Structure 1
Amino acid sequence: MHELKEFRRTCCLVAARTGGRVVEFRVADGVTPNFHQAIIDYRERLVAVVMARDTGVVALAVPRGVTGAVREAGPLTFVDFPKLTGALVDNGRFVVLTTDELAGPFKAAEWPALSSYDVQSWKPETLGETLYNYWD
């Protein structure tokens, strides 16, 4: 839970530094998804900062839709937003992955904390699919 508090604090800080504001936190408290989201509003777009619960690794994505009990599922669409990525990296609290890294292959040896059963069952093709998912 401490990591979640730090995630919230960091997102508010970097949003303010980059001309945005956090408009919503979506805390994943069930089995799925396996990531939390901070939705940051910039006048030209919304960006989700997502943090994987298993690893604490952060990335930027298109925010997922949530309407009542209906939630979008499936692979996230990761995005580049250099000023936000730079602010997150400069903050130094979390490892931040780029779209290129997330589109690359998953190498199990580099992520020992992840469930080998889930990886074998779901057969993700990319690092992004492996780290941020709706697997049950």
Structure 2
Amino acid sequence: MDMQHFKKVIYDLAQQASFSVVEFYEPLSTPNFFVALIQQNGEEFAVLASINSDWAVASGFESSVCELDFIDNAKVVLVLRERHGIDVLSRDALNCPLEERPYINSIDVEYWKPQTLGEALFNWWD
């Protein structure tokens, strides 16, 4: 995943679902994921993608606040699945206890002790 691909997917999502793109954030050392702030009917939410292509939706995003409130958004799920073959992780899956994934660094997990899959995939670790 790179920023160019992420933006292409997000702009297509916005066009298909009648959303407005407000702002993009690229992963740096922290946070470690791509973010697109989206506006729908005057309310903002965030579409997230990890560098390993895990996708999620959060109620918002602030780069200096190290926590996310994951939500489900049926339009985002539908458009990303149908047009891009992307499966968006559900709120329930992200809030479940951490399950192992081959690309989640076990040293980071041992040190930072994330409690949920969402905390492990979308984080502000250095």
Q: TM-score, normalised by structure 1?
A: 0.85
Residues 49, 60 of structure 1: 8 Å contact kept: yes
Give 1:11 shift.
0.6
Partner of 1:57: 54
Residues 17, 79 of structure 2: 8 Å contact kept: yes
Give 1:93 shift.
4.4
RMSD over aligned Cα atoms:
1.5
Unmatched runs of 5 consecutive residues or more in structure 1: none
The percentage of counterpart residues that share the same residue type is 33
Residues 10, 93 of structure 1: 8 Å contact kept: no
2:71 aligns to what SS in structure 1?
A: coil
| Distance in 1 separating the partners of 2:2 and 2:86 | 10
| Distance in 2 separating the partners of 1:44 and 1:101 | 28
Choose the corresponding residue for 1:92, options 84, 88, 112. Answer: 84
Partner of 2:111: 121
Give 1:18-97 correspondences, 5 Å limit.
18-29=17-28, 31-53=29-51, 55-66=52-63, 71-73=64-66, 75-97=67-89
Q: Number of matched residues?
A: 126
| Distance in 2 separating the partners of 1:22 and 1:93 | 21
| Distance in 2 separating the partners of 1:81 and 1:112 | 27
2:93 aligns to what SS in structure 1?
A: helix
Partner of 2:7: 8
- Which amino acid counterpart does residue 122 of structure 2 have in structure 1? Y
1:14 aligns to what SS in structure 2?
A: helix
- Which amino acid counterpart does residue 65 of structure 2 have in structure 1? E
Q: Deviations over 1:7-33 (max 9, x none)?
A: 11111111111111111111122x110
